[in-house]
A and B are shown apart, each in its own frame.
Chain A
Amino acid sequence: MKYLSLAIYLLKRLLKMLLTVLLVTSVIFFLVRLMPSNPIDRYVEDQMVQYGITYAEAQNRAAALFSMDLDKPVFEQYWEYIGKVFQLDFGNSLLSPGVPVMDIIAARLPWTLFTVGIGLILSFVVGIVIGAVMAFKRDRWYEPLVTGFASFLSAIPDFLIAICLLLLFGVVRWNGENPLLPIGMMRGTYSMQVTPGWNIEFIADVLRHGMIPILTYMLSQVGVWVLLMKTCTTSCLNTDYVTMAKIRGLSSGKVLFSYIGRNALLPVTTEFFMRLGFIVGGALIIEQLFVYQGIGLELLRATNGRDYPMMQGIFLMMSIAIVLCNFLAEVLYVALDPRIKTGGAGKDGK
């Protein structure tokens, strides 16, 4: 009985999520077509500027290249697209003719997940620890300094942090020696001469390439975690149950983890999963700045060339990730906090 209602609940949630994704996909479909210009014009302009060919010639090339008929009524195109999406066919990229959109995403996405994900996890861990410590030391002289620096970090845009890091690691000559990283040689996700695979050189190379982006993501987010965790911990510190735990003679470790940490982490966990959904979107500006071949850079390229299928594919992935992570956050919250019972689970539902 219990499992049946749980299954019904999950099924309902799944349908709801599917509906959300479908809705987002539809909106995106029309939104990308509402942008000024279109893929063919963009291509023709590009060809004329780059290769100095005539308009007619460029149009001929374009006609040979684009398999998509953009003159069809837009709703006809829409139904065609939705129909294909249900068969998990997301179309081919316009800019790279013949290559399925999902192949490109599959090639790019891991790099973004890697850098943004690690950056998020690092900032989370570091921020939680600093935030919790600051909550305990909130009467010390350095607490306002640390908290102030945290709000400063969370207030400056990430691309400024990225530029500062670029200067520090790639330009400044410490003690007159060469810069710490040869950034001129470090475009992309890994160097040409290493062979991809589970070997030391490749992993080290990947880490070296990803280091500054990861550091950027970490620094730009760590402040938020510090502030959030500090607030949550402080409010937990003043609760009666923590005072009570101390009066009961519990060891400070027990009080710290089981009473303060456990409760302070509740809102922080939700926030973490909300943000986790956004890592698929990547960071457009950061990836462009470092010429890091992730999904963000691909999205930027697709947008510039008005590559409709590509944009739709990437946005679809993003919306799926966000909807999924919100669902995860919800499920986890119910598991973490017994006070919250989801309407559908256990009882007969809303």
Chain B
Amino acid sequence: MKEKYPPLLQVEQVSVCYNTKRGALKAVSGASFTIGEGESVALIGESGCGKTTLATAIVNALPMAASITGGNLTYYKDGQAVNLLKLKKNQLRPLLWSEISMVFQASQSSFNPVRKIKTQFLDTVRTHDRSQSREEILNRASGLLRVVMLEPEKVLNAYPHELSGGMKQRTLIALALLLQPKLVILDEPTTALDLLTQEKILRLLKELKKQYGFSLLFITHDLGIVSELADKVVTMYAGKTVETAPVRAFFQNARHPYSIGLVDAIPRLTLDNRPVISIPGTPPDMVSEERGCAFAPRCSRCIPICQEKVPHSGAVGHMDGWYCACWNPASRGEHIGKDN
């Protein structure tokens, strides 16, 4: 079968540890998934499951206490495979932003407070390409700002504190697209915004994606956004990628009990009185030594082997790119979300 999306970034068995007073905290352990060219991948999971850590690991912006302890991040630059983790700092720097850009969760403070927005657009381009003139850069920036429905004149000459939250978010999206990167990472791009602005930004992202054809990796808690924007859903639990599924398959027919739990936890605007089901218990402590499946204590489908051995990711279902790490996955059509 021909792959729909040629791979752009392969995340293979990536592990990230935080050094804490209690010992090494395995924020991400053996996460794997692939982002194809032009594909949009959603990364979902509970707070603290390692989504942001994984995303920051891709752009080499982990905090000092964190270190990548294993795995490969293979990026395909013009068809050539590069392992981002093996690159030296000055080899990686040219790739950042021009190939991979990222919009932060805390985009409210992502701009240098003492410099005008204009300056921050200018120095971003100039770092990567010295040949462009000031006018060229500002023209492109204005164009992008207009695309995100902002007034370029006003925004470019403003200081960050003079912009509202939604404006900053959109400015940051414009900045992220400035160098026409192949991959844009969005860490909870709409969390801090009201519903109307959220909706606007989502529509915008869809438009932009169509227009510029970049790949998208976005982290979110909002499954509504996932259904609107994603081609593929990666579910993380306790630092592991427990299920990777095409978006339709995920919503209709997720296989991992945790994914099922996430889907069932969404309230629906239909007339049936099906209760919102939450997942009992809390995520495990990621410092203590693991034994068995991390989700086992909270899992309704737990069988004896789940307590003993860590499940490995394997292909499930009939569709391409559907993987699940579970000893006892729900079979097709078994769970209650299917009739939706």
Contacts and interface: CB of A to CB of B under 8 A. Distances in A.
Interface of A: 138-139, 238-241, 243-251, 254, 258-259, 262-263, 266, 336-339
A244 B104 contact: yes
Interface residues of B, number: 31
Contacts of B128: 249
Contacts of B76: none
A254 B127 CA distance: 9
Given A247-B101, A248-B127, A249-B96, A258 B115 contact: yes
A258 B93 contact: no
A250 B123 contact: yes
B331 interface: no
Contacts of B94: 249
B104 A251 contact: no
Given A247-B59, A250-B127, A254-B127, A241 B109 contact: yes
Contact of B114 (A240, A246, A251, A337): A337
B110 A241 contact: yes
A7 B64 CA distance: 49
Contacts of B154: none
B69 interface: no
6 contacts: A239-B109, A247-B61, A247-B101, A249-B96, A254-B123, A339-B114
A262 B59 CA distance: 24
Interface in B158-178: 159, 161, 175
A245 B104 CA distance: 11
A248 B111 contact: no
A146 to B, nearest CB: 18
B159 to A, nearest CB: 4
Nearest to A251: B127
B141 to A, nearest CB: 14
A250 B179 CA distance: 13
Q: What 4 pairs between A and B have smallest CB-CB spacing?
A: A249-B96, A244-B110, A338-B159, A240-B109
B6 interface: no
Interface string B6-40: 00000000000000000000000000000000000
A338 B104 contact: no
Contacts of B84: none
Nearest to A238: B63
A250 B64 CA distance: 18
Interface in B30-66: 56, 59-61, 63-64
Contacts of B106: 240
A239 B64 CA distance: 13
Nearest to A138: B64
Interface string B101-144: 11010110111111100000001100110000000000000000
A339 B112 contact: no
Contacts of A251: 93, 127
Contacts of B60: 246
B114 A338 contact: yes
A240 B104 contact: yes
Contacts of A238: 63
A157 to B, nearest CB: 36
B98 A249 contact: yes
A202 to B, nearest CB: 44
B289 to A, nearest CB: 26
B218 interface: no
B237 interface: no
A138 B124 CA distance: 28
A236 B95 CA distance: 25
Contact of A243 (B104, B115, B123, B124): B104
